[in-house]
Chains A and B, each alone.
Chain A
């Protein structure tokens, strides 16, 4: 029901029951906010969105106050502007003054607010609370001096990721965000997914940088520099650099990477294809042997750490196949090294991912072979964008180049795997094709593609029924646990930590308008619709790999290099 309100002396319409903030947004009026997160209930912590409302003595927060008929609101009266400015100044009085050295320089919400509110003088000074630097996690760095205590990271870790690794400690000005018993990240139950980094308004939480390391190695002429990137990276890179994306953008990315100085460029999609093929073979065996427990996909490293900590009973069911990044990495260090006549120590292998937990995964002890890591360094899409700018590469004026053999191409299932439910779809489609020798009907997989955080689907392949479950974001784990407890038997289970899948990974560019996720998913789905090779078993790259290379090299023909192990972790839960 529409009602009339008056904003800045102008009559506007608003939906009854809306908050003042949403009523203003729907009328195109924007007021600053800081602690607000889309789709979360308002916290009322920052007080930035205050407005003047007739009849109220004090200023009122727009994020929480519902509109009423004939409400008179002033959004930018002198009193309101002074209040907002003073609040930002109070924040700045307890904030380090090193914007120029900060990770979020030019991209920081606090910076933007001080600019918007015309803060030009240090009117409020005071002691800055001591800083604490936590660099113990391979993926996330915590700089507590920059934290403005908006509480977004706490809420995301509790409500979306459900590991509740962060909370406020102490009170008043001594408050800081910390982990259990105020230890560093490596003692805590943090799964390194990095979603907290995506929501942090300042540089208090940011990724651990590997750019400097990569730069160092790029300068070493004796080392062969090899890079791989996952299928969604080109779309993410286009966003980060502000250029238009097209279907051939990955060829531009290949050219850019070579220009930076990498000797070989591969696509992680080949690894994904191997992953899908191996998993579909494994699944087929399990169905034939009528195994009781499900095969749980372990491509998401944050989910794996979560399971190792919180659900150790599920570890036996986790597929011990490495993730696509690691498979590609190990092939680089064995197959590609052998082909080029290099020793693994002479190779520096980098991977570009939309994910931050991959930085943690690359460091796992199970991801090394004879003491050499499969992947030496992991860069997020944001870091790659920085590297490109640093090297002054003009992306608009560069040619198209293919990736290097033998890992130069992928099927569209590999791209699909970066959306929640995509890898399951790829596996089932492969299985279907191998059994029935034709493509499955796309409609069958509709249930797997969108919807709630927990989805189930039963797909018929010939006479067999394959029961699958998708957990899209760890909030769906409760339903999975209760289903398993009540005796429901699944054949295949896929769990993704980031809601929506890797397209929403913490390594992708920061979300500005909110449409980015939709666009990324569109890119993936379009690839699946239009590309000719839609399954790994149809991919000439993969077939080549298996028939020619993997069988020939004795030390890797048993494919043991593709497998790792998982075990229960002892952390503060």
Chain B
């Protein structure tokens, strides 16, 4: 181990020339497993995989190998494929292309491995083979790269995810990792690094799209004895899991990105603000930092460059508002996470009053690549105003979900239809929600919008941090807006009046809209109408006057849904109907007397005893008592219950 570390430090990291010695390259090839003599099994091991059962799969593979005395490497890797494929398994036999298998839960391990080691591929769970030059092709097996899910992506930030063991720094260094960092601290000044990143046109990926290099320069140019870099790995947007996937699959590159960014702004202290509850991610990023320290990449006078850096992890204790820069800083200072007035901006006076730069995980992941390949290379990707790529977390009612990366300039239609493979179960597409709880909806009218900061700003759609939620005809837009508003109300810090009172009142009004109509007396009905008329006004005042981004963007889902689905809102408010049959209060269930056999299954399960009848005679539902829960609908074997 020590020898390997010494080798990597001397012959790779601190090697003066850009091209490595041939013997070094050979050894690195070995570490990268490009030439293997024994089979290797790669098993995806992110949180999504674990939830799907990958740890049980791991144990099953381990015991299979031990029991059968089969010699084979078993490596845990990060996430690379669709979430539907988890647990995602890859087997590489010496000299042959990698084979990928999907949904390998523990009971499938034995038949699969039996087959593989006896040259009998189980076609059922096969996802495809990955073509690599110099390796033998498997005849008759489709290529993984040809699946639209992979072919339409441009995996640049995510290129290492799923390819190596994220708990092993050697493999990362063997892939060229950390060389850009060492080169930067030895041969470039702070200013030069900022200029390189500025030239590349990298824009902040947390939604704002502010040029990263420019932000760094602002902090660098503020005279101060110390500066801080904070990596915002909080990601508490509901439905976003890109940062977590990156942390679990390629933590070393993030460490490198943070290190380069810290150097660029002249900070000797970097903090990672990590989400509460992601234990797995925390374990891996902490290990990456510890390993980097062991290899001399962090600490004092790193590789005799005169630069000191250390990275610390802080777990955010649970407040959505702490995603906002000044609130994040307040939290790190040991105060309530309430945003502060801007100006002064964090780049002038941030953490402890010192210049601070806060960057998103995805932004920082781009940095080592830009340093390695040059700003022109980065500019060659994407569009003119928005170079590079964007990572999305696709989730919802589409056939394929997961973390994907596309080049800027890709049409949303491509992501929906090619990558996510359209709506599942043959339902009709309704909308895509971009940007999580602060985002807006994209309907079938504007699926041709391209992923580009300027284009989307023009159409008043927020890019967000990477949430991409697909909804179909069975989703109630009013309920979805209510869900987002509840999330924002819970996350509001309570400092400023428009957000604190506004989110609460809007939520109450929306809940009133979906409440059961027969409980209303005329007073409450009038109140409901008055409230509804105020929704738009409250929303626009919140947008206009709130202190921070949370309050300013909380009404976005509502405003966007109202614009695109006004009819649905009006149906809820005036006709008291929910066309997606989701809003319980507005559902009416009735029993078809021709189909009902009187089996009493529904009546016994009804939580409010709203179903009456005599055995073997048709039953009926008392509408006034019904809460619309739908249990009877689900349980009836004779499809005798209809919902309106």
Q: Which residues of A contact B (CB under 8 A)?
A: 42-47, 50, 58-59, 61, 64-66, 79, 82-83, 86-87, 90-91, 93-94, 122-127, 148-149, 151, 168, 170-175
Q: Kindly state whether residue B290 has any CB partner on chain A within 8 Å.
A: no
Residues of A within 8 A of B36 (CB): none
Say whether B496 contacts A124, CB under 8 Å: no
Complex Cα gap A401–B489 (Å) = 62
Known contacts A47-B496, A127-B508; is-contact A91 B341 (Cβ 8 Å): no
Which of A58, A61, A126, A151 touches B505 (beta carbons < 8 Å)? Answer: A126
The 8 closest A-B pairs by CB, nearest first: A175-B494, A90-B501, A44-B341, A86-B541, A172-B492, A173-B504, A64-B341, A47-B545
Q: Kindly state whether residue B336 has any CB partner on chain A within 8 Å.
A: yes
Q: Kindly state whether residue B147 has any CB partner on chain A within 8 Å.
A: no
Complex Cα gap A171–B491 (Å) = 8
Among B501, B543, B547, max chain A CB count under 10 A is at B501
Kindly state the interface size class of chain B when it binds its partner: 35 or more
Cβ contacts B471-505/A at 8 Å (1 or 0 each): 00000000000000000011111111110111111
Q: Kindly state whether residue B376 has any CB partner on chain A within 8 Å.
A: no
Say whether A90 contacts B547, CB under 8 Å: no
Q: Kindly state whether residue B319 has any CB partner on chain A within 8 Å.
A: yes
Complex Cα gap A171–B321 (Å) = 10
A83 to chain B, nearest CB (A): 5
* 14 sample A-B contacts, Cβ–Cβ < 8 Å, listed by A number: A44-B495, A47-B498, A50-B544, A58-B543, A64-B343, A82-B537, A90-B497, A91-B497, A125-B530, A125-B531, A127-B508, A168-B494, A171-B492, A173-B494
Q: Closest A residue to B337 by CB, please name it.
A: A171
Complex Cα gap A122–B505 (Å) = 13
Known contacts A58-B545, A93-B501; is-contact A171 B343 (Cβ 8 Å): no
Residues of B within 8 A of A44 (CB): 340-341, 495-496, 547
Say whether A82 contacts B500, CB under 8 Å: no
Known contacts A47-B547, A126-B508; is-contact A172 B494 (Cβ 8 Å): yes
Among B498, B500, B502, B509, max chain A CB count under 10 A is at B500
Complex Cα gap A45–B499 (Å) = 10
Complex Cα gap A151–B537 (Å) = 26
Complex Cα gap A86–B499 (Å) = 12
Complex Cα gap A338–B564 (Å) = 87
Q: Closest B residue to A42 by CB, please name it.
A: B341
Q: Kindly state whether residue B534 has any CB partner on chain A within 8 Å.
A: yes
Q: Which residues of B contact A (CB under 8 A)?
A: 319, 321, 336, 340-341, 343, 489-498, 500-505, 508-509, 527, 530-531, 533-534, 537-538, 541, 543-547, 552
Residues of A within 8 A of B503 (CB): 172-173
Which of A43, A50, A91, A123 touches B545 (beta carbons < 8 Å)? Answer: A50
Complex Cα gap A171–B552 (Å) = 18
A435 to chain B, nearest CB (A): 52
Residues of B within 8 A of A174 (CB): 494
Which of A50, A125, A173 touches B500 (beta carbons < 8 Å)? Answer: A173
Residues of B within 8 A of A58 (CB): 543-545, 552
Residues of B within 8 A of A66 (CB): 343
Residues of B within 8 A of A123 (CB): 530, 533-534, 537
Complex Cα gap A65–B342 (Å) = 8
Q: Closest A residue to B508 by CB, please name it.
A: A126
Known contacts A93-B501, A172-B489, A172-B490; is-contact A83 B541 (Cβ 8 Å): yes
Residues of B within 8 A of A124 (CB): 505, 531, 534, 538
Complex Cα gap A43–B544 (Å) = 18
Which of A82, A91, A94, A172 touches B541 (beta carbons < 8 Å)? Answer: A82
B384 to chain A, nearest CB (A): 24
Known contacts A66-B343, A126-B505, A172-B489; is-contact A83 B497 (Cβ 8 Å): no
Complex Cα gap A350–B281 (Å) = 68
Apart from A91-B501, A171-B492, what are 16 other A-B pairs with CB-CB below 8 Å?
A45-B496, A47-B496, A58-B545, A94-B504, A124-B534, A124-B538, A126-B531, A149-B500, A168-B494, A172-B490, A172-B492, A172-B500, A172-B504, A173-B492, A173-B500, A173-B501
Q: Closest A residue to B547 by CB, please name it.
A: A44
Q: Closest B residue to A86 by CB, please name it.
A: B541
Q: Closest A residue to B528 by CB, please name it.
A: A125
Say whether A171 contacts B341, CB under 8 Å: no
Q: Closest A residue to B535 by CB, please name it.
A: A124
Residues of A within 8 A of B341 (CB): 42-44, 61, 64
Q: Closest B residue to A172 by CB, please name it.
A: B492
Residues of B within 8 A of A149 (CB): 494-495, 497, 500
Residues of A within 8 A of B509 (CB): 126
A21 to chain B, nearest CB (A): 12
Residues of B within 8 A of A42 (CB): 341
Complex Cα gap A82–B492 (Å) = 23
Say whether A46 contacts B496, CB under 8 Å: yes
Residues of A within 8 A of B534 (CB): 123-124
Complex Cα gap A530–B491 (Å) = 62
Residues of A within 8 A of B495 (CB): 43-45, 149, 151
Known contacts A47-B497, A124-B531; is-contact A59 B544 (Cβ 8 Å): yes
Complex Cα gap A332–B343 (Å) = 59
Complex Cα gap A122–B533 (Å) = 12
B215 to chain A, nearest CB (A): 20
Residues of A within 8 A of B547 (CB): 44-45, 47
Known contacts A47-B547, A87-B498, A124-B538; is-contact A171 B493 (Cβ 8 Å): yes
Say whether B497 contacts A45, CB under 8 Å: yes
Q: Closest B residue to A34 by CB, please name it.
A: B497
Q: Closest B residue to A58 by CB, please name it.
A: B544
